Structure formats: structure tokens, C-alpha cells
A and B are shown apart, each in its own frame.
Chain A
Amino acid sequence: MVPAGASAAAAVLAAGFDSIRETPVNGRERAPYCMMGVCFDCLAEIDGVANRQSCMIEVRPGMRISRQTRARLIDPKAQ
């Protein structure tokens, strides 16, 4: 449980997770850090969209926050 207005990153940390993703550069674990949108360490897949800065998104009931293991996958067929 987190207070209203908390970020998705805060929700992940409050739930007791040690990390939120692995960096695609060397596979090491990363957790939210600056909590203000400048470090890009809190990247997660939120409601199906990858590479979202979870600290900049207000958590909502039913939000799906998924671990992102690699860089965002682009679908070139998307129009």
C-alpha cells in the first residue's frame, strides 16, 4: 500500500523489491534512484509500454508494472 499520488517506482520499492530491472548494458540489477525523472534507472514496462520512467507515473489500482530485462523492443511493422 502506498499513499495516493505516489509513483509506480515508490510502489515497487514499498512492495519490498530490491531492483526494478537489469540494465541492457551489462545485465546488472538497477533500482529507482533519483525519484525525479533524471537518472532513467527506474525504467519499467507499465501497462504494456516499455521504457517508462516509473518514478514519473502516478500509480493506479490495476496498473501492471512489469520487470524490463532488455532495452525496449521496437515493432517495425507498427504503423
Chain B
Amino acid sequence: MPAEAVYDRDGQIQGGRMERYDVIVIGGGLVGSAIAYGLVRARLRVALLDEGDVAFRASRGNFGLVWVQSKGDGAPHYQRWTRLSADEWPALAAELEAKTGIAVGHQRPGGVHLCLGEAEIEARHAMMERLRVQSGNLGFEYRMLDRRELTDMLPGLGPAVSGASWTPYDGHANPLSLLHALHKGFAANGGRYLPNSTVTEAGAAPGDFRIPLAGSEISAPKVVLAAGLGNADLARHFGLSAPVKPLKGQILVTERAQQVLPMPITTIRQTVEGSIMLGDSQEDAGFDTSQRPAVMQTIARRAVLSFPWLRDLQIVRAWAALRVMPPDGLPIYDQSERFPGAFTANCHSGVTLAGAHANLFAPMVAAGTVDPALEPLSSKRFDVSAAA
């Protein structure tokens, strides 16, 4: 530890070149900024590090669902974590708007997953039942809707749609506004944002982490790895493991139209501004971010089967992005056993879990202990020999 030193308001040692914080968060995407926001709200001094503009940024490829109904089949701890996060969302959205003036467009009208054909309905119904049974005393309210009920709820439903599952827990928000609001709220609460600060090496000891940056150094007794795909490499410096891989997703965006969809569908949602987003593709393409017309056609075709009137809308924007996928699709949360004070957070659903990250996980980092309820989401679960 450094000898007695004089610190200025920004944590800068007078005359020195080291900055000291309570927590360093590596990665300023939806996961890192949500955790960092929760930490500064708890009055901690936080440095939030980002790479440069050229980086694999999963946050810009997010569809915007705050989705509960499809999560955690066979993993009741994840179902619970998702539900807790969705329940934190309204308060987080309201707080962010009050604090930053940015409306993240969160709506929670419930959501539907459309089924085309009887086989899909049966499979979906079976899954909903499993989720209900696995939810235990948390409970899981859902309804299977037949075509007649659906046509009352959703205008212009295509003849190929047989029914759907619905829960009241689902909603959506604008992921870009969310990222903007989290960063603005972070800065408003005294957080220090350090862009163009790629981390390639670090000094690590229990409760003592030092990161060299452009000729100087920052240090803190705690560090949180929230670098998405970058966590896979970073983790080893901190006695952690984050075996995540890229999964490419593509999205199509239509011209703005007057509001016609009253609730989000798993693969189709209308934004507050009127654009209709079409998505849900998954490609295992390594780190290739190019768009593929065949995938875009599949997205468009499935969307038009659900709502034929989509056919007349023009697509004004389309993109592909690499999203983060852990080996079993479930999030990874850990505190390093070798270097206590080092935490890692990885997930696929950065928008849905923003509520939990800001309001539940950040307090765990502040307290220095990951809640035992998250133990099943530790990376230890991938160590087959340990589990056997």
C-alpha cells in the first residue's frame, strides 16, 4: 500500500501519477455501466474503463426486450434472477429519467411468444408448465392464448399463427437510451469514465488491483470484469474464468409508423419512436460481424408470416452484432478465490438484467460478497471434474 499521500478531489495523488478508486469496472457496456451506476449510487468512487470505438460491443446489438417468459427452463435460479431483474426495471427506469432526463422507453405490457402450428404450441405449453413448476413459491403466471384471443390483442395476425404463450412479466426498452442514461447517471453521481483505456495486463493481489494506463496507473481494492467477450482473456489476470463466446445476431428496422403493436413479441417489437424491429437470429460465426442476406430474408419471412402487413414497410436500417454467449447460455457471476475483490459478470441478456446488475449485483460487490443464491451461476459449474 502507498505511504501517506495527499489526494485531490478526483482521487489523484498530488504530484503523483497514480489514481486510486474504491472499484474499477472494466467495460462500459450495458453490464459494466449498470454495475458502475449501482456502485456510485452507493457513494463509492468508481473508475469505468472502456476500450476505443473499434471494439466488439455487444450492447449496440441488443434487441431491447426485458424478457422473462423464455428464461431459465431447467435453471430455477436463473428464472428467479431474471424475474427479480424485471421487477427492478420500472424503478430503475424512473430513477434514470429523474436523474438524467433521459427516458429509456420502458414499457411492461406483458409479452407474447407466437406459435406457428400445433406442435409449436404443445412444446411451448410444456415449457411454460415446467417453468411454473420450477418457480416454486416465486410463482409463474402464464396463459396459452388461442388464435381467437390473440386476434383480439394483436392487429392483423397472420393466418399461420396458431396461438401464443403470454406472461405479464415481459416488456421492452430502448437499449441505446439505457446505455446513455446509465453513463450519464454514472457521471452525475461522481463516477470517472476513462475511454480508450484497453486493459491488457494488470497487477493483482487480494484486495489490491493495479492497472497500467497510458503511462500512469489506477488502483483499487476491488475490480469488476464486465468486458463482455473481452472477459474471456482478461479473466486469467484476476484468478477468474469467463469462457464466453461470440454469437452473431442480426436485426432489421423498419420505417417509423404510427403505433400499431400494443406489446412486444419475442422477435418483433415496435419502439416508442414508431420503428418496428425484427430479429432473433443466431449464427456461430466467430468474430465475423458481416451481415448475411440469407439470414435477413429468414428474419423478414418469419415476421411477415406473423403479421402480413409488415410486408409493405420499408427496411431503413439493418445490422449484425456479436453478442455474448456463455457455454450454457446462463450468466456467469463470480468473486475470485485467489484474488478476493475481483469480480466477473457476463450475460447474454444485458438489457433484461440491467435491473439486477444495478440494484442487486452492485450492492454485492460493494459488500464484498456474491450472494449464495448466485452460487449456481459461478463459473465453477463448467469445471466438470470438480462437479463430479
Contacts and interface: CB of A to CB of B under 8 A. Distances in A.
A14 to B, nearest CB: 26
B156 interface: yes
B314 interface: yes
Contacts of B260: 74, 76
Contacts of B273: 25
Nearest 4 pairs between A and B by C-beta? A76-B156, A76-B155, A72-B257, A51-B255
Contacts, number: 43
B256 A78 contact: no
Contact of B309 (A24, A25, A51, A77): A77
A25 B260 CA distance: 16
A52 to B, nearest CB: 8
Given A25-B273, A77-B309, A71 B155 contact: no
B312 interface: yes
Contacts of B156: 75-78
13 contacts: A25-B273, A40-B316, A70-B258, A71-B256, A71-B257, A72-B257, A74-B257, A74-B309, A76-B155, A76-B156, A77-B156, A78-B311, A79-B309
A4 interface: no
Interface residues of A, number: 14
Interface string A22-54: 001100000000000000100000000001000
A53 to B, nearest CB: 9
A73 interface: yes
B257 A78 contact: no
Given A25-B273, A40-B316, A71-B274, A76 B255 contact: no
Given A24-B258, A76-B155, 19 more contacts: A40-B316, A51-B314, A71-B256, A71-B257, A72-B256, A72-B257, A73-B258, A74-B257, A74-B260, A74-B309, A74-B312, A75-B156, A76-B156, A77-B309, A78-B156, A78-B308, A78-B309, A78-B312, A79-B309
B159 to A, nearest CB: 9
A79 B311 CA distance: 8
Contact of A75 (B256, B309, B316): B309
Contacts of B316: 40
Interface in B118-168: 155-156
A74 B335 CA distance: 51
Q: Which of A24, A40, A71, A73 has the most CB of B within 10 A?
A: A71
A71 B309 CA distance: 16
B169 interface: no
B350 to A, nearest CB: 27
Contacts of A76: 155-156, 260, 307, 309
B313 interface: yes
Nearest to B311: A78
A78 B157 CA distance: 10
Contacts of B256: 24, 51, 71-72
Contacts of B257: 51, 71-74
A76 B310 CA distance: 8
Interface centre among A40, A51, A75 (most CB of B within 10 A): A51
Nearest to A52: B314
Interface string B231-265: 00000000000000000000000011110100000
A75 B256 CA distance: 14
A79 B258 contact: no
Point out which of A40, A72, A77, A79 has the most chain B C-beta atoms below 10 A from its C-beta: A72
Interface in B211-248: none
A74 B155 CA distance: 10
A29 B312 CA distance: 26
